[in-house]
Amino acid sequence: MMADILAGQPAPLFTLPASDGSTVELAQLCGQYVVLYFYPKDNTPGCTLETRQFGELHEQFQAANAVILGISRDSIKSHQKFIEKLCTPFLLLSDSDSVVCTLYDVLKEKNMYGKKSIGVERTTVLIDPEGNVVQVWRKVKADGHAGAVLAALQSVTS
């Protein structure tokens, strides 16, 4: 069990395969803000809504020197279909072995119709150009979240 990710701490480093066939290393993104949003599953209503809203605001995030990365435990193939369906303008990363989800402490016990399972709790982490955590959003409600993250980003970059 990892300690909670807190503002002001260095963000845990990772390397994951991306939806475009590349590999993304957090350490290589120094010099820009990084929006990491962890979501449960491709093609589910909340995740589709959240990803679509981040996509709609993508140019504004770019204008604020930020890169958006979506992370779930889905496969690269699943991510590619999801991106194609939504015309998503940013990369989705596959954490199929849950290493990064564990590192960022987003795996939580969920209870669905009396059946317990471990799943990804919708969480977003904003990381500054030096690699430190600026803000963490836990138990995110998908609708409107991308706008809230953008507002927080703009408040620290303006």
Q: Please provide the DSSP assignment of 80-145 as one string.
A: HHHHHHHT-SSEEEE-TT-HHHHHTT-EEEEEETTEEEEEE--EEEEE-TTSBEEEEE-S--STTH
For position 3, what pLDDT does the model report?
58
pLDDT digits (tens, 9 = 90+) for 145-156: 999 999 999 999
Calculate mean pLDDT across residues 140-144. 94
From CA 12, how far away is CA 75, in angstroms rounded? 22
Residue 136 contacts residue 7 (beta carbons within 8 Å): yes
* All structural domains of the chain: 16-157 (3.40.30.10)
Say if residue 87's pLDDT is above 80.
yes
Is 87 noted as a catalytic residue in this protein? no
Say if residue 123's pLDDT is above 50.
yes
Say if residue 2's pLDDT is above 60.
no
Burial class (CB within 10 angstroms; exposed 0-12, middle 13-18, buried 19+) of 83: buried
- Whole-model pTM? 0.94
For position 79, what pLDDT does the model report?
97
Calculate mean pLDDT across residues 47-55. 96
HSE toward the beta carbon, residue 98, CA cutoff 13 A: 13
HSE toward the beta carbon, residue 26, CA cutoff 13 A: 23
Q: Which has more pLDDT, 112 or 40?
A: 40
Q: What is the mean pLDDT of the chain?
A: 94
Annotated catalytic residue: which of 30, 47, 87, 101? Answer: 47
From CA 83, how far away is CA 77, in angstroms rounded? 10
Q: DSSP assignment of 6-44, as one string?
A: -TTSBPPP-EEEBTTS-EEEGGGGTTSEEEEEE-S-TTS
From CA 91, how far away is CA 21, in angstroms rounded? 10
- 48, two tokens: 């589709």
Say if residue 1's pLDDT is above 50.
no
Burial class (CB within 10 angstroms; exposed 0-12, middle 13-18, buried 19+) of 123: buried
